[in-house]
């Protein structure tokens, strides 16, 4: 049984998918073409200090205008991720004008690509003699990888042969320069991404050489003699104009040991996760058991010890990196939006390899929390860093918190996150179902319809994540029967199921409730959505004595706008009832708040004698924070004995 089509029609996700289609894609197009005033020269270094110039760089590389390169040296990837988002959007909403823009971009990219397949506008415009000389830092393979993904997506959406041809030509270039053969670079990129892209190209073209190159790069990484060290001794220089400074240690690049021997996730978080995403895809497609075992082990280490309750990953601004197990500081967290996107790419590949409800749980956590927090409800402001605690004064005055912004800028100097988020939300349909044999797994609770190659269709409806009760209605040709495997989230104690109106005993196998279905079957799954308290593992020093609030998959936070200033003085007594309350008025999309009778602890020496005073607490979903006036925010609140 295979999925032939998944459509989405869901109250919650329609808001975000419409936002991507009607706001983010057009807005980002204008930004990439320098038509939006995003520059903020006086702002934090995370705000855009200048316009994007990304399309202009391509025009210049194509010889359509004169001039050099501007922006981050991997800026090409912003265009490619935009194009990938547009491709997914076209798949669900055909739009001739957008397709026309994409065709223009494809023609521009084809004109900028060199005859041998190379494309990286920074090197073409600024340093043509430095191509592939410093692969640890250069991002050439990162950019080409992002194009390959975009080219595949656009080909799948529209059948564009030119888009696919560029990708194949790039892959041929890479195969001509990397590999075990004498005379080639026995290496891999400093920023993994192309490995995942090559697996995608393999799936589109069926050409095994693409998968083999991905596997080569993945298994070569971190072996001796070390490729990065070798380039450092020969062609790489310490102070590249695009990235000066000391040689970063190999762990930053996940290149000190092979992935199969890496004990803990290490180094730059997004690189680590893209590496794992590529390894999981290549490992499953190439039946590389050692890579898959490494992916499973590292997934567990990340999920259990280096992931925030919001799904955020990457604890420190220094190297945008992992630190060590159970170190999860809330107010200096990095938790880049791209890292949450990358967790989804990685764990989806793991799920494709084998059903593992926990991975689908984490994907859900990322989607509703870590990912969505990256974009404002207007679709035109973006977080790069996603902290769990913010004091705007500290952001301004504490140099250790410069990376933590209390409000989303209109664009970012390093603009990797906005188009990453756009392409993920636009491709949400890929994450809802997986067909495996005669079993249709429902991994995400998102309304819409899944069609199967046996002629059956499953329509999912319901008010998730706000209201209980998801309904699955099956239509199927006579004689067609299959199993619906419904993920039971780990938080869903007390879940229940009815089939054709009759309650069935709730039994889950490896995290999935399995229901045999045929034409006309109606299955209703009730995942209880009463608000709950969440405590961190006691090993997490930053969260000792604190509690968070969640409801279903949504993690909540306190904001100053609802609760006043000095959030650390607020406390949630252990016996305080948590109440879910609909709020359709405050934000651009209706949501559910959680309220509780709380306490405000004495805020001055003089007030200590009076003791804690009652204060109602109002929690909003974490993804919705920073959409009103600038103020404090905290996910964790003091956990006190009963009032």
Residue ranges that bind ligand FUB, judged by CB under 6 A: 74, 191, 270, 320, 336, 338, 414, 416
- The DSSP result for 131-142, as a single string, is TTS-HHHH-HHH
Antiparallel, parallel or unpaired: β 637-640 and 570-573:
parallel
Of all residues in the shown chain, the one whose CB is closest to Zn ion is 338
Select the binding partner of residue 191 from ligand FUB, Zn ion, none (C-beta < 5 to 8 A, by kind). ligand FUB
Instruction: Work out how close the CB of 77 gets to ligand FUB at its nearest, in angstroms, rounded to a whole number.
Output: 7
Instruction: Work out how close the CB of 190 gets to ligand FUB at its nearest, in angstroms, rounded to a whole number.
Output: 9
Q: Please, what is the Cα angle at 107 between 102 and 111, to 5 degrees? A: 145
| CB-CB contact of 99 with 146 (8 Å) | no
Structure tokens at 294: 């490494």
Residue 416: active-site member: yes
Residue 417 in the binding site for Zn ion (CB under 5 A): yes
Select the binding partner of residue 508 from Zn ion, ligand FUB, none (C-beta < 5 to 8 A, by kind). none
Of all residues in the shown chain, the one whose CB is closest to ligand FUB is 270
Cα 142 off chain centre by:
17
Instruction: Work out how close the CB of 274 gets to ligand FUB at its nearest, in angstroms, rounded to a whole number.
Output: 7
Q: How many CB atoms are located within 10 Å of the residue 332 CB?
A: 20
**From the candidates 341, 416, 417, 557, which is the catalytic residue?**
416
Q: Which is nearer to Zn ion, 74 or 228 (CB)?
A: 74
Q: Token match 């229901």: residue?
A: 515
Instruction: Work out how close the CB of 441 gets to ligand FUB at its nearest, in angstroms, rounded to a whole number.
Output: 30
Q: Which is nearer to ligand FUB, 13 or 228 (CB)?
A: 228
Q: Which is nearer to ligand FUB, 54 or 525 (CB)?
A: 54
Residue 416 in the binding site for Zn ion (CB under 5 A): yes
Task: Give the 3-state secondary structure of 6-32.
Answer: EEECCHHHHHHHHHHHHHHHHHHHHHH
Q: Distance between CA atoms of 310 and 632, rounded to whole angstroms? A: 17
Instruction: Work out how close the CB of 193 gets to ligand FUB at its nearest, in angstroms, rounded to a whole number.
Output: 8
Select the binding partner of residue 74 from Zn ion, ligand FUB, none (C-beta < 5 to 8 A, by kind). ligand FUB
Residue 72 in the binding site for Zn ion (CB under 5 A): no
Give Cβ neighbours of residue 262 (< 8 Å, ≥ 6 apart).
Answer: 222, 254, 294, 298
Q: Which is nearer to ligand FUB, 190 or 462 (CB)?
A: 190
What Cα–Cα distance (Å) separates residue 49 from each residue in 28, 37, 40, 74, 300? 16, 10, 5, 16, 39
Q: Which is nearer to ligand FUB, 338 or 547 (CB)?
A: 338
Select the binding partner of residue 320 from Zn ion, ligand FUB, none (C-beta < 5 to 8 A, by kind). ligand FUB
Instruction: Work out how close the CB of 362 gets to ligand FUB at its nearest, in angstroms, rounded to a whole number.
Output: 19
Antiparallel, parallel or unpaired: β 554-559 and 633-634:
antiparallel
Interaction with Zn ion in 317-346: which residues (CB under 5 A)?
Answer: 336, 338
Q: Is 334 exposed, middle or buried (0-12, 13-18, 19+ CB in 10 A)?
A: buried
**From the candidates 266, 320, 336, 468, which is the catalytic residue?**
320
DSSP classification of residue 490 = T
Q: Which stretch binds Zn ion (CB under 5 A): 74-82, 217-225, 323-331, 408-416?
A: 408-416
Q: Which is nearer to ligand FUB, 200 or 638 (CB)?
A: 200
Residue 414: active-site member: no
- Which positions are annotated as active-site residues? 320, 416
Q: Which residues bind Zn ion (CB under 5 A)?
A: 336, 338, 416-417
């Amino acid at each position: 049984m295979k999925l032939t089509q998944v459509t989405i029609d869901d109250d919650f996700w329609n808001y975000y998918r419409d936002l991507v289609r009607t706001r983010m894609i057009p807005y980002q197009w204008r930004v990439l073409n320098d038509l939006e005033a995003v520059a903020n020269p006086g702002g934090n270094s995370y705000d855009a200090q200048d316009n994007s110039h990304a399309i202009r760089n391509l025009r210049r590389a194509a010889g359509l205008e004169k001039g050099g390169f501007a922006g981050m040296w991997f800026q090409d990837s912003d265009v490619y991720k935009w194009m990938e988002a547009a491709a997914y959007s076209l798949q669900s909403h055909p739009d001739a004008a957008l397709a026309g823009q994409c065709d223009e971009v494809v023609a521009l990219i084809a004109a900028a690509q060199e005859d041998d397949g190379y494309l990286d506008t920074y090197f073409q415009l600024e340093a043509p003699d430095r191509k592939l000389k410093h692969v640890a830092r250069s991002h050439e393979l990162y950019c080409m990888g992002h194009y390959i993904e975009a080219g595949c997506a656009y080909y799948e959406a529209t059948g564009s042969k030119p888009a696919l041809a560029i990708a194949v030509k790039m892959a041929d270039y890479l195969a001509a320069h990397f590999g075990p053969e004498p005379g080639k670079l026995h290496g891999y990129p400093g920023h993994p991404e192309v490995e995942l892209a090559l697996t995608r190209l393999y799936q589109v073209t069926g050409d095994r050489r693409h998968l083999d190159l991905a596997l080569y790069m993945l298994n070569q990484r971190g072996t001796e003699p070390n490729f990065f060290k070798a380039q450092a001794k020969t062609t790489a220089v310490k102070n590249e104009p695009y990235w000066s400074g000391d040689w970063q240690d190999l762990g930053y690049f996940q290149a000190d040991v092979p992935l199969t021997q890496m004990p803990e996730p290490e180094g730059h978080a997004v690189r680590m996760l893209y590496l794992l995403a590529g390894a999981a895809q290549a490992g499953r497609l190439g039946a590389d058991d050692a890579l898959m075992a490494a992916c499973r082990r590292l997934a567990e280490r990340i999920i259990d010890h280096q992931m925030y309750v919001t799904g955020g990953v990457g604890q420190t601004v220094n190297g945008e990196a992992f630190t060590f197990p159970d170190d999860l500081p809330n107010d200096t967290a990095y938790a880049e939006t791209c890292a949450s996107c990358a967790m989804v790419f990685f764990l989806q590949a793991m799920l494709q390899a084998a059903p593992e409800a926990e991975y689908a749980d984490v994907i859900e956590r990322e989607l509703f929390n870590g990912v969505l927090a990256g974009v404002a409800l207007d679709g035109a402001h973006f977080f790069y860093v996603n902290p769990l605690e913010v004091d705007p004064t500290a952001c301004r005055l504490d140099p250790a918190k410069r990376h933590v912004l209390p409000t989303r800028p209109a664009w970012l100097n390093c603009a990797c996150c906005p188009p990453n988020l756009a392409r993920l939300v636009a491709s949400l349909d890929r994450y809802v179902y997986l067909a495996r044999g005669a079993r249709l797994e429902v991994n995400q609770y998102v309304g819409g319809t899944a069609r199967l190659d046996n002629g059956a269709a499953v329509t999912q409806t319901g008010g998730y994540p706000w209201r209980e009760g998801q309904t699955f209605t099956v239509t199927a040709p006579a004689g067609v029967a299959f199993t619906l495997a419904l993920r039971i989230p780990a938080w869903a104690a007390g879940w229940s199921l009815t089939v054709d109106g009759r309650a069935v005993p709730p039994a889950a196998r490896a995290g999935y409730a399995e229901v045999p279905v045929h034409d006309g079957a109606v299955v209703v799954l009730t995942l209880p959505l009463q608000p709950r308290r969440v405590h961190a593992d006691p090993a997490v020093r930053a969260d000792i004595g604190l509690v968070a609030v969640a409801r279903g998959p949504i993690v909540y936070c306190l904001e100053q706008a609802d609760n006043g200033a000095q959030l650390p003085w607020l406390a949630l007594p252990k016996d305080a009832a948590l109440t879910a309350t609909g709020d359709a008025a405050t934000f651009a999309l209706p949501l559910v708040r959680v309220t509780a009778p709380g306490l405000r602890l004495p805020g001055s020496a003089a007030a200590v004698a009076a003791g804690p005073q009652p204060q109602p607490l109002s929690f909003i979903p974490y993804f919705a924070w920073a959409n009103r006036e600038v103020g404090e925010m905290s996910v964790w609140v003091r956990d006190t004995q009963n009032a």
